[in-house]
Structure 1
Amino acid sequence: MDIHFIINPIAGKNQSIRKISLLIDRLNTEYPDAFIHFTESKGEGGKIAESLKGDLVKLIICGGDGTINEVVNGLGPYSSPIIDIFPIGSGNDLSRELNINNNIEELIKRIQDDEYRSIDLGEIVLTDDENRSIRQIFCSSCGIGFDALAAHFSNKNTKLKGFLLYLSSAFSALRNYSNSRLSGHIDGRSIRLDSMMVSIGNGKTSGGGFKLLPFAQVDDGKLDLSIINYLNRLKILFYLPIAIFGKHTKMKIVNYSKFESCSIQLDPGNYIHTDGEVISMNGIKVEIRVLKNALKIKV
């Protein structure tokens, strides 16, 4: 089985160059016939993946959640390649969920093994205020409102990584966020409320370790949903540390559930992210569903 690597050389805010160099040295020894693809621009990882989606190959993604998202969208759901991850990004939430680290020797051993598991993915179709439609797959998380605005500021920060990056971005979002009135259906149940943040996904954490969906599982055939009701800035300062550690789900201001499909209108439109990458700054409608057992990934 052919082995392909898609490597994002600027993953982790350009702080992973030495790790990549060490990896390449080991690959030249252990897998000299492996195909190594370096991405040079946004979207290139998806194009490389698209060319491989019908091939039964081992595909190792070297990057963060954004790189993984790009590659998986290039592959599409239920594609042939078996995925592995070498996490060198800023947040690495999917690898954290799967208990995968960036130890080179462990990666070498995993490549030798043919075992894999299938995990769920999420799919979102959003409409923005100019009636444009965007369809996107997400591997770990999708956020609407405050969470997505924090992701917007996170992507602008060129220095911090992980938990500190999201914390800094959350305080930036605090000065600029707006609530939205939500209306729609979740697995047939009607909803109508004012919300400052909606978190959706099959991974427990987003933003580099914020435990917004503490009961999520990657293979239960469901997506988890946390809706935090309208809060003013002072209350956000009080509740945010609680949400960071996943202790918010039983509070009256939180609606937490699992679902398979939903359709939600936003008024006014708001920021939306998938796996930490902002895909709209003014989404007014989203339709989201789970794609069960849609990605083959190394264990």
Structure 2
Amino acid sequence: MSSARREIALLANPVAGMGRAAGVADEALARLRAAGIVVHALAGRDADEALDLARAAVADGVDALVVVGGDGIVNLGLQATATTPTPLGIVPAGTGNDVARYVGLTRKDPLAATDRVVRALTTGSRRTFDLARTGGRFYATVLAAGFDALVNERANRMTWPRGQMRYNLATLLELRTFEPRPYVLDLDGRTLTTEAMLVAIGNGPSFGGGLRIAEGALLDDGLLDVVIIKPISKPELVRTYPRLFKGTHTTHPQYERHLVRRVTVAAPGIVGYADGERFGPLPLTIECVPAALEVLA
């Protein structure tokens, strides 16, 4: 396909951002077409069909796959584009938008994000990211494998309230009964047995809408950041939580960090979540896949 023609596929999650993404997708579509870009708007009946459509578009040779929504739709998009030469474009319109933050985008100005896609398609500007892979699935941000994962699991069972408040309530409910879990980790062949409140496997530094749990994680170093928060009291956990937004929790005496290429994490009763998506019960083995993703930037 001629690069001068600039033909892309556009995939949106219409329910992201409590329904905001649908309107953003319409605006982005109009903006892209006004710039002379041929846009194929993809609409799957469910996530599986949307992924099939995205993979087919990539196989057909589109110049980019552009996704509109939050980290969930980004995760779907990178399943189609990872380890291919097709770049991923992001127009943030979700609740979390951590991957968008990695490239300096916010949901406050989705049209500016769309304009960046247009410029990148014109100039060829790209950023190359590592990805993490487990069980054949990729993720870009952080795999939650502790207290934070239990909060996600509870929040997904709740129908009220909507948005971030649901996660805040789930956090309070989970905190009432949570106890540290016994973990066994294989860190590049070295076994570590410990109790922990939280274990997180970071490809990037943040998840959950800006929680910088893996502060210092780099997207292009070929390594995963394994973060462990060892047992602390519940009041101390509540006091420490706000520090996650600034990344200053790294000075806490119960904080531990390991840099690895591959990790297996096992603990009872934990389901892993990454990019806001359910990845499945532990144990999980996660490996870094260097330079796996091209992002329009």
TM norm structure 2: 0.86
SS of equivalent to 2:238: helix
SS of equivalent to 2:216: coil
Q: Which of 124, 129, 138 pairs up with 2:134?
A: 124
Corresponding position of 1:293: 291
Contact 2:271 2:282 in 1 (8 A): no
Corresponding position of 1:271: 271
Q: Which of 47, 52, 70 pairs up with 1:64?
A: 70
Greater CA drift, 271-280 or 107-116: 107-116
Deviation at 1:270, TM superposition (A): 0.8
Q: Measured at CA, do residues 296 and 158 of structure 1 come closer, stay the same or move farther in structure 2, by a change above 3 Å?
A: farther
Corresponding position of 2:163: 160
Mapped partners of 1:53, 1:28: distance in 2: 19
Note the alpha carbon deviations across 1:195-218, whole angstroms, 9 max, x for none.
121111222211001111110111
What stretches of structure 2 of length at least 5 have no aligned partner?
A: none
Q: Measured at CA, do residues 203 and 184 of structure 1 come closer, stay the same or move farther in structure 2, by a change above 3 Å?
A: closer
Q: Which of 90, 105, 113 pairs up with 2:115?
A: 105
Are 1:25 and 2:35 matched, yes or no?
Answer: no
Q: Measured at CA, do residues 217 and 154 of structure 1 come closer, stay the same or move farther in structure 2, by a change above 3 Å?
A: farther
Alignment of 1:175-186 (within 5 A): 175-186=176-187
Contact 2:8 2:37 in 1 (8 A): no
Are 1:35 and 2:40 matched, yes or no?
Answer: yes
Which one-letter code corresponds to 1:88 in the other structure?
A
Are 1:16 and 2:21 matched, yes or no?
Answer: yes
Contact 1:197 1:229 in 2 (8 A): yes
Deviation at 1:291, TM superposition (A): 0.3
Q: Give the % identical residues.
A: 23
SS of equivalent to 1:43: helix
* Greater share of residues in strand: 1
Contact 2:130 2:203 in 1 (8 A): yes
Deviation at 1:146, TM superposition (A): 1.0
Mapped partners of 1:205, 1:154: distance in 2: 19
CA RMSD of aligned residues (A): 2.2
Mapped partners of 1:152, 1:277: distance in 2: 10
Deviation at 1:168, TM superposition (A): 4.4
TM norm structure 1: 0.86
* Greater share of residues in helix: 2
Mapped partners of 2:264, 2:14: distance in 1: 37
Note the alpha carbon deviations across 1:235-264, whole angstroms, 9 max, x for none.
321222223321122322111122111123
What stretches of structure 1 of length at least 5 have no aligned partner?
A: 126-134
Deviation at 1:154, TM superposition (A): 4.5
How many pairs align? 284
SS of equivalent to 1:193: strand
Note the alpha carbon deviations across 1:157-203, whole angstroms, 9 max, x for none.
56334xx6654443343235443211132123321101121111222
